């Protein structure tokens, strides 16, 4: 095929028409999908431009010659009309003495533009850069030296565009490789004017490939952590990278696993939104909904209050019945209340009646708690025998003030305020540990809180035991 057939235009010396034809054809034959056709198109484009360049050069020489000779135009026209050779037009190329006729020039008579590389070389070197960057850079240096020596400026630009496009299609492309190649070939991708060397669409393709590499690395890291990570991290990653359609009930029995999964999904999808489509959709849907499951907070509070009430109930001054009632109240406000609201949330009428009943019952519990504290307060302070009396009383007083300030809810519905007060009081040991970030210093405060709560619980339960005995 001739260059004009490849460009799909008639022979012309109009460079603009040649460029428009090339732009139309390059949309059909992309370097990634049709490498051979694209190579032929580039060669035909270069040859057509050379053809137009020679024709323009000849026209400019004719204009210069005519400007030096003054001839009567009418005489010339008569002589030309009488000449038997008027149908022959002589065109002399600047680099040869070939005379051509007015008919289209034969393609074989034009000089062939030699391109000192091919698409296979570009693909091979781009692949080597991914597998062995050092060896690939050596091969690139050899090829570029040959292109720089034998190729024209247009060939140089063509090499930059084609190699950058081939490089952008390589899986596993990294920023380090792009930076090294860009520095070596002078692409200046980080500069504002870098589009003069590498087209903008190629830069976008490079950035997209770099992003795909980052996502692939993140996904690979998830698979590694599913095997080698800590217990909770490994368990959460195994679920996220699995293909199971349902989430096992065992997930609820592992303390902290559901929050760990939610944290991993939120963190990774924030940095790599593409991973959302890779993670197990059933697991993602599972953690997005409120679930009843074991957690370390509940286990710790059960142990804390269980030990405390067991020690208090062992005292002869405290009735076992009163201790059991206290345990039921603590368990209700720590766990049962939330479970009931979780079940009734889809039933507005029952949910509303539960909130009303809980509100009045909780008011009664809070009122008895305040009365018990007030009546047993003097006995409590007198009974303090830990350290100097004044210091111990001051410490306990400030603990009470801080606890009351923390427990009082703000900007909450009125029906939920009493219940939230009791919940925050009963959950305060765990919240204190969280606030201190579970440091070694928090253990000291935990011991102090335990001793204070033990003494307060003992005085309160002893007071209610006396009231219970008097009522009988």
pLDDT tens track of the chain, all 472 residues? 678 888 888 888 787 788 788 778 877 877 667 777 777 887 787 777 777 776 654 555 445 444 444 444 444 444 444 444 444 434 443 444 444 444 454 544 445 567 888 989 999 999 999 999 999 999 999 999 998 888 888 888 899 999 999 999 999 999 999 999 998 988 888 776 655 678 888 888 999 999 999 999 999 999 999 998 888 999 999 999 998 889 888 899 999 899 999 999 999 999 999 999 999 999 999 988 888 888 899 999 999 999 999 999 999 989 999 999 999 999 999 999 999 998 888 898 999 999 999 999 999 998 888 787 777 655 555 555 544 555 555 555 666 666 667 677 777 888 888 888 899 889 989 988 888 888 888 888 889 889 888 988 888 898 888 877 777 6
Nearest to 461 by CA among 363, 301, 321, 367: 321
23 and 15 in contact (C-beta within 8 Å)? Answer: no
d(CA 190, CA 66): 51
The pLDDT assigned to 195 comes to: 56
CA–CA separation, 258 vs 197, rounded Å? Answer: 51
CA separation (Å) from 305 to 20, 281, 320, 429, 450? 83, 39, 15, 10, 9
Radius of gyration of the chain, Cα coordinates, nearest whole angstrom: 43
> Cβ of 460: how many Cβ atoms within 10 Å?
21
Closest CA to 416 of 368, 345, 352: 352
Q: CA 112: distance to chain centroid?
A: 50
How many Å apart are CA 101 and CA 98, to the nearest integer? 10
| Residue 181: Cβ-neighbour burial (10 angstroms; 0-12, 13-18, 19+) | buried
Contacts of residue 67, Cβ cutoff 8 Å, sequence gap at least 6: none
Dist. CA 300–CA 334, nearest whole Å: 12
Stated pTM of the model: 0.60
DSSP designation for 99: B
The residue whose two tokens read 């540990």 is 433
Looking at residue 178, its pLDDT comes to: 93
């Amino acid at each position: 095929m001739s260059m004009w057939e490849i460009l799909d235009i008639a022979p012309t010396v109009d460079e603009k028409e040649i460029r428009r034809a090339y732009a139309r054809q390059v949309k059909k034959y992309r370097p990634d999908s049709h490498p051979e056709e694209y190579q032929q198109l580039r060669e035909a484009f270069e040859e057509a431009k050379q053809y137009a360049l020679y024709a323009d050069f000849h026209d400019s020489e004719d204009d210069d010659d005519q400007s030096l000779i003054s001839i009567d135009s009418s005489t010339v026209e008569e002589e030309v009309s009488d000449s038997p050779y008027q149908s022959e037009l002589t065109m002399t190329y600047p680099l040869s003495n070939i005379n051509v006729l007015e008919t289209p020039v034969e393609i074989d008579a034009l000089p062939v533009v030699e391109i000192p590389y091919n698409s296979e070389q570009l693909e091979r070197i781009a692949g080597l850069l991914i597998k062995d960057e050092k060896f690939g850079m050596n091969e690139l240096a050899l090829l570029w030296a040959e292109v720089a020596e034998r190729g024209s400026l247009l060939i140089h630009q063509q090499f930059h565009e084609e190699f950058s496009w081939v490089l952008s299609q390589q899986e596993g492309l990294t920023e380090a490789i792009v930076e090294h190649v860009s520095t070596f070939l002078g692409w200046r991708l980080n500069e504002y004017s870098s589009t003069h060397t590498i087209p903008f669409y190629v830069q976008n393709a490079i950035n997209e490939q770099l992003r795909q590499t980052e996502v692939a690395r993140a996904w690979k890291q998830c698979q590694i952590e599913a095997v080698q990570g800590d217990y909770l991290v490994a368990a959460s990653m195994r679920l996220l990278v699995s293909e199971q359609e349902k989430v096992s009930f065992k997930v609820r029995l592992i303390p902290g696993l559901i929050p760990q999964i939610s944290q991993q999904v939120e963190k990774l999808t924030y940095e790599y939104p593409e991973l959302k489509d890779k993670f197990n959709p059933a697991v993602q849907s599972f953690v997005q909904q409120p679930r009843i499951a074991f957690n370390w907070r509940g286990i710790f509070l059960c142990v804390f209050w269980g030990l405390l009430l067991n020690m208090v109930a062992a005292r002869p001054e405290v009735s076992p019945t009163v201790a059991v009632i206290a345990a039921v109240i603590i368990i209700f406000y720590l766990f049962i209340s939330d479970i009931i609201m979780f079940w009734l949330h889809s039933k507005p009428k029952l949910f509303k009646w539960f909130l009303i009943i809980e509100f009045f019952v909780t008011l009664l519990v809070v009122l008895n708690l305040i009365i018990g504290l007030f009546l047993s307060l003097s006995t409590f302070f007198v009974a303090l025998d830990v350290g100097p009396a004044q210091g111990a009383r001051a410490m306990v007083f400030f603990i009470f003030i801080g606890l009351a300030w923390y427990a009082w809810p703000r900007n909450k519905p009125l029906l939920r305020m009493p219940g939230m007060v009791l919940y925050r009081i009963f959950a305060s040991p765990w919240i204190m540990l969280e606030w201190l970030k579970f440091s070694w210093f928090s253990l000291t405060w935990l011991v102090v809180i335990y001793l204070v709560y033990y003494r307060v619980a003992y005085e309160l339960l002893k007071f209610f035991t006396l009231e219970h005995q008097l009522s009988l």
